[in-house]
Structure 1
Amino acid sequence: MNTGRQAKIAATLLTATISTVMILPFTATAGETPGSDEGGKVMDEAPAGVKLSTGLSEKISVDNSTKETSDLVASVSNQGTKDSGKVNLLVVGFDGMAIKEVPGCTAIGTADLPEGSNSGFTCPVDNLAAGKSKSYKVAATFDLTKTGKICLPVESADGKQRFWQQGPVPFGATSPSPNAPVTPLLLGTENKPASPAGDQSGGGEGDGEEETLPSTGAGRDVLPLGAAGAALIAAGGAGLWWSSRKPTA
């Protein structure tokens, strides 16, 4: 009897252990940064000991009937040795990619959007401790008849400094099919638009600028400082928007 009872207990413990091992890998941990910082570059020098960067999902998908994307996550992280203090993460869409919602963030007004963008949100981050990150689920749409890009700048709370900018970096598929229910999109891939009839030969040929991977740095794709958002200043739960530009030397 004792031997049988011990065997049952051992079997129960083994089952519980296997279940735990299967569940744990899918549990997100605090400070985890999803995806890749592809297309990212340091801009203005951050305070001593602060090292800011962003991350995007490497692969997302788009519903061909609704144009809604899934699995898109944006993050901001501090890989330095000191707290970041207050900063703003901006999530901005270009071309066929439109940002519809970022929970906990505020939509950027049309007049304040950077040139060439169609939508954007500002996410105020009170503070990022050293080695920590903060992630945001991004609701967006993607028009497969166009190319689509996203940009993640990280600015000081007053909008006068830009410490980091990722993108505008493209999401896309090299051979999308409008007949499929869902199309996977890869980060850093220029979308090759598909015709309504499913013809993969057209779309994008001769478009010039859209066929080139957007560069990152002090060029045409760098968002004007302060144009996309300026700072969201919290005062008793209320926010005040204002725009500013970095003074030129």
Structure 2
Amino acid sequence: MSSRHTTAIAGSLVAASFSAVMILSFPAGADDQGSGSSLGGKVVDKAPAGVKVTTLLPKKISVDNSSKNTAITATVKNEGTKDSGTLRLLVVGFGGLTVTNVQGCSEIPKKDLPPGSNSGFNCAVGHLAAGKSTSYAVDATYDLSKEGKICLPVRTGDGKKTYWQQGPVPFGTTNPSPNAPATPLLLGTDNKPVAPGGDQLPRTGVGSDVLPLGAAGAALIAVGAAGLRWSRRRPLEQQG
């Protein structure tokens, strides 16, 4: 993926987030919707009649206390009655949660990440037939001394519209267990930092129903406008 393409994705995503909800992405895998939750998800741009795109995240993940590694399954689903058209998924990490790899997806360069995020991947999902879904294996690390969130926006192939966005939604625990081999984290739970005095640490973002980028103001509008210009001048190639 070129820098211009990733700039278009990040920029227009930020513009959409400032106006209502933020939009943020992993390659198509097997047709497996898995088990999960759409907690923190919302419609951004209206999809065509018969198309209903959603995403799912696991209700529970586990962080290895030694390596800080964790694994997340992200699922994109078309619950409608018609083909979705070409889709893209963005997978973006915030705070203590850093996305290190999404199978088959392209990493978004640091300079093109939306403000407030620390990592991100852009994935070409392609078409989803009615009732079909695609799941992706997401590798991540989680610094349990911080709060961490993830965001899954689902966009059209050309990046001009975002049909759905889940998050930024937190994974966390209110009962840290630093001496255990692993710490279980629950979706929709703000993390209580393990480190001494962790309760005094600054929060990494706001509630899951509000974008953490809202306070950026004019800067976001400028970045979003630039992204939209890139999108109009050189649309993202369609990937099936």
With the shorter chain as reference, the TM-score category is 0.7 to 0.9
Kindly indicate whether residue 200 of structure 2 is the aligned counterpart of residue 205 of structure 1.
yes
Query: What does 1:84-103 align with in structure 2 at a 5 Å threshold?
Result: 84-103=84-103
AA aligned opposite 2:208: P
Unaligned runs of at least 5 residues, structure 1: 1-28, 238-249
Counterpart of 1:215 in structure 2 is: 209
Cα separation, 2, equivalents of 1:119 and 1:179: 28
Q: Please provide the CA RMSD for this pair.
A: 2.9
Cα shift at 1:123 = 1.1
Cα separation, 2, equivalents of 1:211 and 1:203: 16
Query: How far does the alpha carbon of each residue in 1:24-50 deviate from its partner, in whole angstroms, 9 at most, with x for none?
Result: xxxxx9443430000000000111211
Query: How far does the alpha carbon of each residue in 1:58-82 deviate from its partner, in whole angstroms, 9 at most, with x for none?
Result: 1000001100003x10011000010
Query: How far does the alpha carbon of each residue in 1:165-212 deviate from its partner, in whole angstroms, 9 at most, with x for none?
Result: 1000000111212211100010000000012xxx5xx313373x5485
Counterpart of 1:110 in structure 2 is: 110
**SS class of match (2:237):** strand
Residues 109, 181 of structure 1: alpha-carbon distance in 2 compared, 3 angstrom cutoff: same
Kindly indicate whether residue 223 of structure 2 is the aligned counterpart of residue 233 of structure 1.
no
Aligned length: 200
Cα shift at 1:215 = 1.8
AA aligned opposite 2:237: I
Identity of aligned residues (%): 55
Kindly indicate whether residue 159 of structure 2 is the aligned counterpart of residue 159 of structure 1.
yes
Cα shift at 1:216 = 4.3
**SS class of match (1:111):** helix
Cα separation, 2, equivalents of 1:91 and 1:211: 17
Structure number with larger C-alpha Rg: 1
AA aligned opposite 1:233: E
AA aligned opposite 1:50: V
AA aligned opposite 1:55: L
**SS class of match (1:158):** coil
Counterpart of 2:54 in structure 1 is: 53
> Any conservation in 1 of the 2:53–2:80 contact (CA below 8 Å)?
yes
Query: How far does the alpha carbon of each residue in 1:135-163 deviate from its partner, in whole angstroms, 9 at most, with x for none?
Result: 00110000000000000000111111111
Higher helix proportion, which one?
A: 2
Query: What does 1:66-145 align with in structure 2 at a 5 Å threshold?
Result: 66-70=67-71, 72-145=72-145
Of stretches 211-220 and 156-165 in structure 1, the one that deviates more from structure 2 is 211-220
> Any conservation in 1 of the 2:116–2:213 contact (CA below 8 Å)?
no
Higher relative contact order (CA 8 A, sep 6+): 2
> Any conservation in 1 of the 2:159–2:236 contact (CA below 8 Å)?
no
Cα separation, 2, equivalents of 1:34 and 1:187: 13
> Any conservation in 2 of the 1:49–1:82 contact (CA below 8 Å)?
yes
AA aligned opposite 1:122: N
